[in-house]
Amino acid sequence: MNTRVLTPQQLVAETAKLLQSRAPAVGKKAGPEATLEVVVELLYRQRSYFWVGIYVVAGDRLVQQSFRGPKPLWHAFAAGQANVGTVWQSGKMKVVPDISKDQNYCKFFGEVKSEIIVPIKRAGRVVGVIDVESDRRNAFAYADQVLLRRAAMQLARFFTADGRLLLRKLREAVSNHRVTEAANQQKLQPASERPEPARRAAGAAPRA
């Protein structure tokens, strides 16, 4: 990856190039996952952001896929929950110049002073968000807003092409987790409180 400092316009072009190519494996991740890792790394280093994350919609949750910066406490949000969930629900970019004045901010890190969240839309539907946080107030100038909007547009195209498999895998993983979670909860219930299985065998009559 090029280590020279890029202008926002050059960074947009570089991000597009990365999303159109197949990134080499990053750690244990390969394919679309590795591509997203390289993209967040580029944005994180080039713009000196405190934290950068890409969340994707998987069922009824917005799940963290890739990030750079300190490890956050939460990895998934419901629609309308915190700022990332609010942007998922509204489909509109949100800029928070001072998080101390924003009651909806989910405080991960004490260093954070401002935040911007940009929706990733495919065919008018939000499929993910880019969440960026800074340790400076009023950190996200117009250039950052344009940059992240264009990056979101590029990510939307990516999720229509190579990233489709990643979205499908995440939806299946969340769905399987729900099934396993429900099964475990049922095992913990007393037998008397468990729902009686439906009798579907032909000719089976309910007991009196």
Burial zone of 29 (CB within 10 Å; 0-12 exposed, 13-18 middle, 19+ buried): middle
The pLDDT-based confidence of 73 (bands split at 50, 70, 90) is confident
| Better-scored residue on pLDDT, 108 or 102 | 102
Query: What integer is the mean pLDDT of 139-144?
Result: 96
Q: What is the DSSP track for 98-125? A: -GGG-TT-----TT--EEEEEEEEETTE
How confident is the model at residue 139, as a pLDDT?
97
The pLDDT value recorded for residue 31 is 84
For residue 116, pLDDT over 90 is answered with yes
Confidence bin at 26 (pLDDT 50/70/90): confident
Q: Which residue has the higher pLDDT, 208 or 29?
A: 29
Instruction: Specify the pLDDT at position 196.
Output: 54
Amino acid 207: pLDDT: 41
pTM for this one?
Answer: 0.79
Q: Which helix (H) or strand (E) holds 74?
A: none
In the predicted structure, residue 110 carries a pLDDT above the cut 80: yes
Radius of gyration of the chain (CA): 21
> Does the pLDDT of residue 13 top 90, yes or no?
yes
The residues near 127 (Cβ < 8 Å, ≥ 6 apart) are 56, 57, 120, 121, 156, 159, 167
